[in-house]
Amino acid sequence: MRKGHLPTLTAVMFLAGLMLSSAPAAGWKEFAVFATTDDQEVPDVHGSIIVWQQFVSEYGDYDIYVADVNDPADPWVFIIGDANDQMSPAVYENTVVWQDYIVWGGSADWDIRMADINDQSDPQVFVVTDILDNDEQNPAIHGNIVVWQDGVEGDFDIFGADITDPAYATEFLVVYSEHNQQRPAVHRTTVVWQDDYFGDWDIFAADIWQRNKPAEFGVLPVENNQKDPAIWGKVVVWQDDFFGDWDIYAADISAQDNPVEFAIATNPSAQENPDIAGNIVVWQDNRNNNWDIFGYNLTTHREFQITDNTHDQINPAVSGNLVVWQDNRNGSWNIYAVVLDGPDIARCRVRLPGDVNRDCRVDFADFSVMASQWLECGLEPEQACRW
């Protein structure tokens, strides 16, 4: 059965009273995106657009808030909401997606909705999914692809939709399997998710270049739990409790049949909820006995601290140089942000032929790698090495 419910949108201008404080190492200035006493949670960001779910105490439900912080001192903020809950938003360029609690004919479930916000004075809302009695939740978006977890026959599977024409979203199956596949993320034509097929959470992926024939592969099906994946390009990040506490790990999936795993953050405390954009990974970290936001530069292989407030900062997201998170320094959860700059977020301007370890510099570390493999040969057949 199809349903025709669409939430309403309200646009408001808000001159943010910025609440500034210094971040530790680089003097970055944090700011509250839209200060309020209502709880703001689970932000996402792309470019200068930040989205989050907000519990509107006046009405007693969750709505989606959208802010364009191209000018942080004067952000444009508008609201997507109605009498039911809208939660778990994600954004790509000028498209926002979320899960929407739909009440229809005596029944209710979660469905996926989207809004085109190119005209911020008149955003357009569209249906992505509206299947009765199935819960569609935790959407993610990149380009013209939206993915989500879909409650089918007692467990969750991963579905997607091509929204090239938002008025006629074309749905397709990513993975339909026993047990649960949850919390998908997508970048270009690669979808990743956490999967409990083997009895614990593992990270799996699929190439959806052919919509009717996704090519599934394992990123890290090992012991203990790997969950909450995020992806950018050919790098997948996740939180991993293989060693007894949550750490942040990553894998280069350039070769789908042989992903190359590597550690991002393995401090004895907990590191959780990673996100990635370009060469920057962010996560929440409690090594200082409260949750702070940390980052890691995949180019320079260096970790850096983003926040050091004594209250909790959780659920970070990153796009370019802009990092956002959920922050309770004022007694309720608010969305904060910071624009990073300086050496911590250095990017590689040009690749050097002698840069063996791909840190964008040629030094003794590269020489050590070359020396360790001196005169080795990888040709096949082996006789060719003696030519």
Give the pLDDT confidence of 347-369 residue by residue, as tens digits.
988 888 877 877 888 888 878 88
Percent of the chain with pLDDT over 70: 93
Indicate if the pLDDT at residue 1 is higher than 60.
no
SS3 call for 208: coil
Distance of CA 164 to the CA centre of its chain: 21
Q: What share of the chain is helix, strand, coil (3-state, %, to 5)?
A: 5, 50, 45
Distances (CA, A) of 284 to 23, 65, 77, 105, 312: 15, 22, 26, 42, 9
Largest CA distance in the chain: 80
pLDDT cut 90: percent of the chain above it: 74
Which stretch of 43-47, 73-77, 85-89 has the lowest confidence by average pLDDT? 73-77
Of residues 255, 258, 307, the one with CA closest to residue 285: 307
Cα R_g (the chain), whole angstroms: 22
SS3 per residue for 318-359: EECCEEEEEECCCCCCEEEEEECCCHHHCCCCCCCCCCCCCC
Amino acid type, 233: G
- Return the structure tokens found at 7: 């939430």
Q: Is the pLDDT of residue 51 over 90?
A: yes
The length of the chain, given as a count of residues: 387
Distance CA 238, CA 257 (A): 19
Mean pLDDT of the chain: 91
Residue 329 to residue 21: CA distance in whole angstroms: 11
In the three-class reduction of DSSP (H, G, I as helix; E, B as strand; rest coil), residue 365 is classed as helix
Assign 11 a pLDDT band (cuts: 50, 70, 90): very low
Q: On the CB side of 210, how many CA atoms lie within 13 Å of its CA?
A: 5
> What is the rounded CA–CA span in Å between residue 310 and residue 307?
9
- Tokens 């040969």 belong to which residue? 377
- For 255-314, the pLDDT digits (tens) are 999 999 999 999 999 999 999 999 999 999 999 999 999 999 999 999 999 999 999 999
> How far apart (Å, rounded) are the C-alpha atoms in residues 207 and 213?
9
Q: What is the mean pLDDT of residues 87-103?
A: 97
The model's pTM is 0.90
Query: What is each CA distance from 129 to 133, 135, 187, in whole angstroms?
Result: 12, 10, 20
Q: Report in angstroms the alpha-carbon separations of 148 from 75, 325, 350.
A: 29, 22, 37
In three-state form (DSSP H/G/I as H, E/B as E, the rest C), the secondary structure along 219-255 is: EECCCCCEEEEEEECCEEEEEECCCCCCEEEEEECCC
> Domain spanning 8-347: which CATH class is it, in words?
mainly beta
- Report domain extents, the chain: 8-347
Please choose, from the candidates 109, 189, 122, the residue with its C-alpha nearest in 3D space to the C-alpha of residue 150: 109
Q: Two tokens at 173?
A: 């199956």
